[in-house]
A and B are shown apart, each in its own frame.
Chain A
Amino acid sequence: MFEASELNLKNQRVQRLFAVLFMMMALLLIVPVLVILTTLVVKGGPVLSIDFLFTNPTDGMTAGGLFPALLGTVWLVTVALLVSVPLGIAAAIYLSEYAGENWFTRIINLAIINLAGVPSIVHALFGVGAFVLFFGFGTSILAASLTLAIMTLPVVIVATRESLQAVPYAFREACWSMGATRWQTIRRVVLPNAVSGILTGVILEVSRTAGETAPIMFTGAVFFAPFLPQGVFDQTMAMSLHLFVVSTQVPGVPENLPYGVALVLIGMVLIMNSVSIAFRTYLRGKRKW
């Protein structure tokens, strides 16, 4: 019968060693982060309350709540979505349904990768040069949102394109051979079956947009605004910038306050991502073909 040879046993031992090693490496990436997050919760928890979320900062921002920042982030994200989602979906439809495999398409894809890889401060510079100055919007929600929209456009494009391409080609052929135009096919068969994937991408985009600081710093978000924003040409505070401000720009801040702000911000982001992930998992169970 077969007996494990010396060599076999040694190989098995080496293998187990490596398996454990890699597992440790994975853990070592995750554990410090979990520890850090726990610290945030422990130190920031005491600050949280309904008041904290819905009142204004007081005493030169050393006390009070963060409502204007929260509202500002909502403004920024909403306007950014209004611009990037239609544009992103259009681009993805072009790439998935119309574009051929040629150099032009490759350049578009390269442009998308680069848009995603440009440093956030460079996006800020672009926002200043283009929207604040050239187009004359001034430092405003509009300028900041447009900057954010361009920065997060790749997220929507990639998520949408993938969900469009997941729809089998045979469905399109069946529609075309009945005399449906490309758009009729997209509208009636392809898009409806891609909506869930698109939604996942949009939620992801929201969470990224809410966390960005550099692109809005010089284009429309300010350290302190005396009034809540009324329109897109107003300046505003924002959650991400608020964290930066209370942790570096304000003297005499009680230790827990910045932790509270960080906790709210990271809570927002993690909740949105979790919703997106949960939605995706739920959808995987509901197969339609």
Chain B
Amino acid sequence: MSSASDSRREATADFDRRNAAWFIDKAVQVLVFIGGISAIVFVIGIFVFISKEGLGFILGRLDFAEFFTSPYWYPAEEEDPEYGILALIAGTASVTGLAMIVAIPFSLGAAIFVAEFASGKTREALKILIELLAAIPSVVWGFIGLSIMNPLIIELFDVPVGLNILNAGFILGLMAAPIMTSIAEDALKAVPDRYREAAEAMGATRWQVIHKTVLPAAKNGLLGAVLLGVGRGFGETMAVLMATGHSINMPTSIFDSVRALTATIAAELGETAVGSDHYMSLFTIGISLFIVTFVINLTADLVVRGVGKG
């Protein structure tokens, strides 16, 4: 017995050697780490490359006050181009604002219904429907705005032009709603059952349980859903390009045509010469959009985690 274990021990005396598996494991560790930081690299890359293309404008022609407060966007004027994006900001804001007014209450209602009232098959069916709705591409929505909403609005409201804030706001609302509903529903589901059970044990009805207990507990997540919806609205390009009409002006009614920041870039980039002031000004709008959506996303993330807000 002892000689067998002696030789065993000898064989194992130098067991501590690095083999192929050890080296492969280390190599994989490096590869996945590269994958991990790729997201950071790309975000930084986006900021760097866009700034690079817009740098000339920012350092040269850009006048901060004019850029953000002037409603006169005439970048293609030969004589005296003007680069004020206030009207464009108003365009984005008005369309997004209307979209939120439409989407928020309905998303919240739908989320409450799916999370708290529906059950089994209905719930599954609704969730699938909502998921499919969220998948409809933006250009299809833009087409819907052009071909279906346009004539509809002209007829219903007796206005000359159907490509306006109402059109884009409505479809943007329908676009943002499914995502907001999903996130809101997640937030409601995340509230532990014991909150509901405790309230029900005291004799409250479903609705009382919801509005007194579940909603306050989920408010961070719900706020996050709203913020993400706003971010989506801000960043939407094709749908607003096709449905808002083409006039750049400060809107006074929802039947006015406007132009959004994103749509401006999409509409004009193809006509600019690389390196020209106009070209660079569009990249500058791009940076502004990047920064705004970055802040919105950061805030949404912090809010959902409960940092900062109560």
Interface residues of A (CB under 8 A from B): 11-12, 14-15, 18-19, 21-26, 28-30, 32-33, 36, 39-40, 87-95, 97-99, 107-108, 110-115, 117-126, 128-130, 133-134, 150, 153-154, 157, 181-184, 186, 207-208, 210-214, 217-218, 240-241, 243-244, 247-248, 258-259, 262, 265-266, 269-270, 273-274, 277
Alpha-carbon distance A211/B143, docked complex (angstroms): 13
Partner of A184, one of B25, B126, B210, B270: B25
Alpha-carbon distance A282/B45, docked complex (angstroms): 40
B208 at the interface (CB under 8 A from A): yes
B254 at the interface (CB under 8 A from A): no
B98 at the interface (CB under 8 A from A): no
Q: Check if B39 sits within 8 Å of A157, measured CB to CB.
A: yes
Interface residues of B (CB under 8 A from A): 21-22, 24-25, 28-29, 31-40, 42-43, 45-46, 49-50, 52-53, 105-110, 112-114, 116-118, 126, 128-133, 135-140, 142-144, 146-148, 174, 177-178, 181, 204-208, 210, 228, 231-232, 234-238, 242, 262, 265-266, 269-270, 274, 282-283, 286, 289-290, 293-294, 296-298, 300-301
Known: A25-B109, A214-B237, A259-B147. A130 touches B32 (CB 8 A): no
Task: Return B188 CB to nearest CB of chain A, in Å.
Answer: 11
With a cutoff of 8 Å between Cβ atoms, the chain A residues found around residue B108 in the complex are 25
| Secondary structure type dominating chain B contacts | helix
Q: A23-B117, A91-B39 are in contact. List 20 more A-B contacts (CB 8 A).
A: A12-B205, A15-B207, A19-B207, A22-B109, A22-B113, A25-B105, A26-B106, A26-B126, A30-B129, A40-B144, A98-B32, A118-B290, A118-B293, A124-B269, A125-B283, A181-B24, A208-B135, A217-B266, A240-B137, A273-B135
Q: Which residue of A lies closest to B41 (CB)?
A: A111
With a cutoff of 8 Å between Cβ atoms, the chain A residues found around residue B178 in the complex are 29
**23 residue pairs bridging A and B, Cβ less than 8 Å apart:** A18-B210, A28-B106, A29-B110, A30-B133, A87-B38, A110-B297, A111-B42, A117-B293, A119-B237, A120-B235, A121-B237, A122-B235, A122-B289, A129-B283, A182-B28, A184-B25, A212-B138, A213-B138, A241-B139, A243-B143, A244-B238, A265-B140, A270-B135
Partner of B242, one of A18, A40, A244: A244
Q: Check if A94 sits within 8 Å of B142, measured CB to CB.
A: no
Q: Check if A99 sits within 8 Å of B36, measured CB to CB.
A: yes
With a cutoff of 8 Å between Cβ atoms, the chain B residues found around residue A14 in the complex are 205, 207
Alpha-carbon distance A247/B140, docked complex (angstroms): 10
Q: Check if B53 sits within 8 Å of A128, measured CB to CB.
A: yes
Partner of B231, one of A21, A87, A117: A117
The 4 A-B pairs at the shortest CB distance, nearest first, are namely: A90-B35, A211-B137, A25-B109, A119-B235
Q: Check if A118 sits within 8 Å of B49, measured CB to CB.
A: no
Q: Check if B140 sits within 8 Å of A262, measured CB to CB.
A: yes
With a cutoff of 8 Å between Cβ atoms, the chain A residues found around residue B42 in the complex are 111, 115, 150, 153
Alpha-carbon distance A119/B230, docked complex (angstroms): 12
Partner of A258, one of B114, B137, B143: B143
Q: Which residue of A lies closest to B178 (CB)?
A: A29
Alpha-carbon distance A117/B39, docked complex (angstroms): 13
Partner of B181, one of A24, A29, A258: A29
Alpha-carbon distance A118/B231, docked complex (angstroms): 9
Q: Which residue of A lies closest to B37 (CB)?
A: A108
Q: Check if A273 sits within 8 Å of B28, measured CB to CB.
A: no
Q: Check if A243 sits within 8 Å of B25, measured CB to CB.
A: no
Q: Check if A266 sits within 8 Å of B29, measured CB to CB.
A: no
Q: Check if A91 sits within 8 Å of B35, measured CB to CB.
A: yes
Partner of A29, one of B35, B40, B107: B107
Task: Return A188 CB to nearest CB of chain B, in Å.
Answer: 12
Q: Check if A181 sits within 8 Å of B262, measured CB to CB.
A: no
Partner of B177, one of A19, A29, A118, A266: A29
Q: Which residue of B lies closest to A23 (CB)?
A: B113
Q: Check if B39 sits within 8 Å of A214, measured CB to CB.
A: no
Q: Check if B228 sits within 8 Å of A19, measured CB to CB.
A: no
Q: Check if A115 sits within 8 Å of B126, measured CB to CB.
A: no
Partner of A94, one of B33, B118, B177: B33
Q: Check if A19 sits within 8 Å of B43, measured CB to CB.
A: no
With a cutoff of 8 Å between Cβ atoms, the chain A residues found around residue B34 in the complex are 90
Q: Check if A265 sits within 8 Å of B137, measured CB to CB.
A: yes
Task: Return B31 CB to nearest CB of chain A, in Å.
Answer: 6
Known: A11-B205, A129-B283, A181-B24. A121 touches B262 (CB 8 A): yes
Alpha-carbon distance A183/B37, docked complex (angstroms): 19
Partner of B49, one of A24, A126, A186: A126
Alpha-carbon distance A243/B286, docked complex (angstroms): 25
Alpha-carbon distance A11/B137, docked complex (angstroms): 43
Q: Check if A247 sits within 8 Å of B298, measured CB to CB.
A: no
With a cutoff of 8 Å between Cβ atoms, the chain A residues found around residue B117 in the complex are 19, 22-23
Determine which residue in A95, A113, A212 has the highest number of CB atoms from chain B within 10 A of its CB, and name it: A113
